[in-house]
Structure 1
Amino acid sequence: MKLLRFGLPGAEKPGILDHEGTIRDLSSVIPDLSGATISRYGLEVLRKVDLKTLPAVAAHTRLGAPIANVRHFIAVGLNYVDHALETDTPIPNEPVIFSKAPSCIVGPNDNIIIPKNSSKLDWEAEIAVVIGEAAYDISEAQALAAVAGYLICHDVSERDFQINRGGQWIKGKSAPTFGPLGPWLVTSDEIENPQQLNVSLRVNGVTMQAGTTAKMIFSIAHVVSYISKFMALEPGDIITTGTPHGVGLGKKPPLFLQPNDVVEISIDGLGSQRQVVVSRLTAHQRQLA
């Protein structure tokens, strides 16, 4: 299944993509897509719904982030050898874990707003997992059974905040709009092997990242198991698993996002995203319009 949320920001409804590519409104079946509705049991309930009985949603309706009320937005850094090398960073012996503020989450095609004092706005295309079952201290063999599904995450990053402002990376990873998710959550049964997916990112039509999840240092199963050793994962938690090479920081000379730049991300089986980079002033003007 491809599960999604649609509608205006803050008023999204749950939906599902049918076999013809039409969005169907799930709000008569469930109140929203969140940790409470994406458990193994919850997904079985949705699989039994006759989609033809659900109202169709108008084409080009805005898509929100596929999961509501995210409590933990966890990220893995330096999880591809070539990305570690391009940023001149030692290859880690254990997964590098940090957080993104859940308040940074937006829809897959929403604008990226440049924060105040930003000078090094960067891109990172990633595959993320959504936890569907409570998981604490689970083995690697058990890990993927706790995953409800997969989605695209754009781990937008402000490198000056991240690298030069001290402390944890969360400073450079958490501004509003720094977490586009979607377009939909693809349930685990539709992804035969999450370690064999191509990841690509383009800026203004130019390919910047072209990688594969096969080149992860730590597999998705390993990452989920590893994180569960340190915290109890809950349904609805999101783990984004790192980016391949090709980020702006790694270019020679470095290349960073500017107003009006267009970023497009695609991952096999998970769909695509498109964002326009805008200034804070432009975003404010649009809110007043």
Structure 2
Amino acid sequence: MSSLIRCCSRLTSSARPVFRWGVQNAKSVQLLPESLTIEKMHEMEWKDIIGATMHEVSIDDLEYQPLFDQPPDKILGIGLNYLDHLEEQNVPVEKYPQAPVVFNKFPSTIVCNHQSVIHPSATSQLDYEVELAVIIGKGGKNINESGALNHVFGYTVANDITARDWQKMNNRQWILAKSMDTFCPLGPGIRTKEFITNPHNLDIKCEVNGEVRQSSNTSNLLFKIPQLIAYISKLVTLKTGDIILTGTPGGVGAFRDPPMFLKPGDTVKCTIDGIGELTNSVIMEDS
């Protein structure tokens, strides 16, 4: 399964690290020219991206980097967007959201596959949320639903880490609850939309220390991706590299009986069919 990763060679003799995209296969990565960006690759077919690859290197000789050319202008999350997540909260159908519930996360939250999630001392209720993430390839304003997927470059796996005590208490600080450092693992790579024929029929799962906590399918999304892009772009201009986290299914720690929150030493694996596995360990914040 080929996907795009962002990486830096450990073997470089350059005075500065060279960050570039690469096409990852089972045991190796075919590096792409430094000049290729998401914006440029969005206009290319996959065969042309493959045709632009240069030399092949071993995965062991690379250091993974977060999945962007430069920090995204916006990371937009969608709350209460899975039917099974609404059901686990006992939300009656008549009170389901009538429009997407939108919040944002800061770019400083992004970490890549196998990097650590920091457990802040400020929270005792650190929670996991596996999500399908949409990477915008072509920006725009007032995008129509009918053409919304033309603006998508690809998809990746996200973990919308949340400090529940800050989200539910402390004056309901959603942005702070969602935006503490390392609270947005993304990875393992970007699967371009050519490979995802139907993003609304993908199995999605989260495991903590090997135990399945969330298991669903993106068919359970309340608002589908074209609806999200159209709604958001009526209000703000989407830009290349922006990220939309489409929501999380049922099974989050806060609504389990009893609640099950993340602890230092835990390993969280988020998996989406056709995209890959995102794995991160939890470590305690330095005192």
TM-score normalized with structure 1 length = 0.88
3-state SS, counterpart of residue 194 of structure 2:
helix
Counterpart residue number, 1:159: 164
Aligned pairs (5 A) from 1:249-268: 249-268=254-273
Partner of 1:92: 97
- The structure where strand makes up a greater share of residues is 2
Residue 124 (structure 1) aligned to one of 124, 129, 132: 129
SS at match of 1:265: strand
Contact persistence 2:140–2:239 (CA under 8 A): yes
- Which residue in 1 is equivalent to 2:21? 15
Which whole-Å deviations, capped at 9, do the CAs of 1:207-234 have from their partners, x for residues lacking one? 0000000011011111111111111101
Q: Which amino acid aligns with 1:46?
A: I
Q: 1:5 to 1:265 in 2, by over 3 A?
A: same
Structure 2 segments unaligned to the other structure (5+ residues):
11-15
Instruction: State the partner residue of 2:180.
Output: 175
Q: Measure the CA separation in 2 of the matches of 1:47 and 1:8.
A: 19
The amino acid across from 2:23 in the alignment is L
Distance 2:147 2:36 in 1: 27
Contact 2:21–2:34 (CA under 8 A) maintained in structure 1: no
Identify the residue that residue 287 of structure 1 maps to in structure 2: none
* Cα separation, 1, equivalents of 2:108 and 2:154: 21
Give yes or no for contact 2:124–2:165 (8 Å, CA) kept in 1. yes
- Determine if the alignment matches structure 1 residue 40 to structure 2 residue 43: yes
Residue 6 of structure 1 corresponds to which residue in structure 2? 7
Instruction: Name the counterpart of 2:13.
Output: none
CA contact (8 A) 1:15 1:23 kept: no
Work out the CA distance in 1 between the residues paired with 2:18 and 2:111: 11
Deviation at 1:71? Answer: 1.2
For residue 72 of structure 1, what is the aligned residue in structure 2? Answer: 74
- The 3 A distance-change label for structure 1 pair 38 and 72 is farther
2:202 alignment counterpart: 197
Give distance in 2, aligned partners of 1:17 and 1:245: 33
Q: Which residue, 136, 146, 155 being the options, matches 1:150?
A: 155
Deviation of residue 33 (structure 1)? 4.3
Q: CA deviation at 1:95?
A: 0.7
- Alignment partner of 1:183: what SS? strand
CA contact (8 A) 1:13 1:25 kept: no
Counterpart CA distance in 1 for 2:172 and 2:9 is 35
User: How does 1:44-63 map onto structure 2 within 5 Å?
Assistant: 46-49=49-52, 51=53, 53-59=54-60, 61-63=62-64
Is the partner of 1:93 in helix, strand or coil? Answer: coil
CA RMSD, Structure 1 to Structure 2 (Å): 2.3
Q: How many residues are aligned here? A: 277
Change (3 A) 1:11 1:203: farther
CA spacing shift, 1:142–1:13, aligned 2, 3 Å: same
Please give the secondary structure, in 1, of the residue aligned with 2:229. Answer: helix
Q: Does 1:107 align with 2:120?
A: no
Q: Is the 8 A contact 2:143 2:234 kept in 1?
A: yes
Letter in structure 2 aligned against 1:128: A
Residue 30 of structure 2 corresponds to residue 24 of structure 1: yes
Residues 37-60 of structure 1 deviation map (CA, whole Å, 9 limit, x = unaligned): 4432597852432x4x42313337
Flag structure 1 segments of 5+ consecutive residues without an equivalent.
285-289
1:37–1:43 CA contact under 8 A, matched in 2:
no
Confirm whether residue 230 of structure 1 aligns to residue 235 of structure 2: yes
